[in-house]
Every structure is written in structure tokens, then in C-alpha cells.
Amino acid sequence: MTRISTRNKPKIAFIGLGAMGLGMAIHLLEDGFPVNGFDLDPMALERLLAMGGTAASSPRECVQDASFFICMLANSTQIDQAFFTESTGAIFGLKQDAIVILCSTVAPGFPQEVLSQVHRRFSRPDIQIIDSPVSGGTIRATRGTLTIMSSGPEGTMRISQPVLQSLGEALYNIEGGLGSANKVKLINQHLAGIHIAIAAEIMGLAATMGLNTQRLYEMVLNSPAHSWMFENRVPHMLADDWSPHSALGIFVKDMRIVTSEGLSQNIPLYVATAAEQLYNFAALSGYEKEDDYGLVRIFIPHDLSLVLAAAQQKSHADDQQKFEMICNMLEITHGVTAVESLALAMKLDLSIKSLAPIISNAAGTSRSFEYSQETYWQKQ
């Protein structure tokens, strides 16, 4: 591994060394940042040590002497525990003027709740927080090419730029104050979560109908029914590979955030609610810790490897009509999803003009979204 001198680079505490977090931490090491990590998984800590980082036994120990504290935990409950657990929480070890970078996907109001506790309950007004949810998956995390959305105090954002630039190739400063970046991430997860769900349904349907699933995949890539998630996730379905790159449980949590925000904004999210139910059912079926594209198995319970088997299916005379019907179904669902997401974005006071290029560079994009946002943009 090629290392850059750490002489002039600030120390980073990194808590949350999961599939993406570990890749991010290792990339920071490769970019010359000293990284001290904490995670409940000893294997993750061993990997970090092997790559030149250091490991801590608690969040409090992890953040000591670190100028930046990056939090990449799975949910708000874990973040609360890492920050505020009596005697071992990060709040008891943060140095003066440390900056917290929340990279987790959480409800838009949660970063402000954390900041309020830090400033008021623990009397640490010197600590600043920016919320910087990320998108791009494990491979881009390791390469430092994530899409990163950030919001918070302007001065804190400016100081944090060298760290964020190391982790991402597309950085977006979201106006509106702390929590606004997670509003944008919420829209992305709304789109991405539904796109995975409909990809699973489509591939399960095609396999059950006796269609060649490999041929359908190739047709969708070159059609208006294309989405980033379809292109990225379906090859794993075709390979019958459920290795956890992005656990299905993440979308159980993220779709709950989406639908809860819809309720709080008094806007019905019919498609998102249906997708949430699918993820919950899959989690109850035992797939929560496996990859999210394993959702396809709830549509083929009689033969969990049917998508792979159907990839070798011979063609029949009427297959083309069936392929076109399925592509139309996929395109229509993507279109309805795009309209629902844009309606939610407007309810959250997000500018469609500003939102569009971010989503187009993130996992939630689709051809239907690109078309729909142009229509909404013209109306704004």
C-alpha cells in the first residue's frame, strides 16, 4: 500500500466500520490521514490495524486527540449509544473544537437533536456537527469516489473539505442548515429502495414466466426502463450471490425513515409504503443481514435460484411481447416513483433544480427520474 506522509494531516476518529465504513476508513489511511477506529466487530478492527490504522476499545478512547470524528453507524439508536453512553461515549473524549461528521443516513431532524444534546446537556458549545450522508456503495467507498451531501455551519463545512474531498468525487453543499443533506439523502433512498424492490419483482416475474432473465436484463439496460439500481443489483441476482455488500436491513431502516417523513409532512407515499412492507417481509424471512438484492427471493419462494436457472432459458416465439410488457411495467413504476419522490422533495422545500444533478450522480437515478425532474424543474 502506498502511504502519504501524515505529518500535516489531522487525526480522524472513525466509528462504524461496516461494509462502507471500513472502505472509507482504509481510503483515508491510503490518503495519508491517521485513523483511529472503533467497531463492535473485532474482524473490522483487525483489518484496519492491518492497513496501518489504530484501534480503540470504546468511542471515548477512539475520539481522543482527533480533530475530526466521522460517524458511519447504521441508525440513530447506535449513534446515540456511541455518543452518549455513560463514561464510554464519544462526548466524554472529544477534544476542544472537534468537528463531528455524521455520514449515517438518519431522519433529517436527528443531526440537530444530537447537536442540541452536545451543546446543552453536555455543555460543549465548542463542538460542531455537519451531516454528510454518502451514496455509492462499498467499491466507491474504498476508491474514495463517493457522492457526499453535506449541510451545516459554513465555516465548519469549509474546514471539513479536505476530509470530504478524500472520501468523495462528487461533493454537494446543501443549503438550509443542519439536516438538509439528509433531506436530499432521504429522496435518494426513496428512489433507490423502490428501484431495488421493483427490480426484484420484475426478475422474479420473468423467471416465473419462463423468460430468459439474462436477456431481460440486457434489454432493460438499453431501454427507458433503466435505473442505476437495476443495472447494479440484477447481476447479483443472476449469479445467485447473496453476499452482504449492502445489507437488506439498511433499507428496512431507510424506507421507515422515508415513510415516517411522509406522514409527518402529511403526504401519502403509496409506492414507498409498499416497498417498505416488502423489505420488512424479507427481513422477517431471514434475509435482513444478507444483501438487499436478495429481496428477489420473496417473489420466487418455490425455487430461490430460479433467476439464475432462467438465465439459460431457451427463447420462444411470443417472448418478445412478454419482454416488452415487463419493460413497460418497470418504466411505469419508475415514473410513478419519480413523481412521488419529487412531490416529497417539494414538500421538504428542496429545489428540484439543485436536487436533480445530485440524484443523477447517485444510486437513486433512473431515466424516468431524469425525464420527470425536467418537467418539475420547468414548473418551479
Enzyme catalytic residues: 185
* Residues 200/293, Cβ–Cβ less than 8 Å: yes
Backbone dihedral region for residue 286 (phi beyond 0: left; psi -120 to 50: alpha; all else: beta)? left
DSSP string, 216-254: HHHHHHTSTT-BHHHHHHHHHHHTT----SSBHHHHHHH
**Nearest residue to 244 (alpha-carbon basis) of 74, 57, 49, 68:** 74
CA 329 to chain centre: 26
Pairing of strands 68-71, 12-15: parallel
CA 375 to chain centre: 26
What are 366's strand-pairing partners?
227
H-helix or E-strand containing 20?
helix 19-30
H-helix or E-strand containing 310?
helix 306-310
**Nearest residue to 164 (alpha-carbon basis) of 33, 356, 52, 3:** 33
Q: How far is CA 276 from CA 38, 195, 199, 249, 358, in A?
A: 31, 12, 14, 11, 24
What are 182's strand-pairing partners?
none
State how far the Cα of 22 lies from the Cα of 112, in Å rounded to an integer: 26
- Backbone angles phi and psi of 232, in degrees to 5: -80, -40
* Residues 172/359, Cβ–Cβ less than 8 Å: no
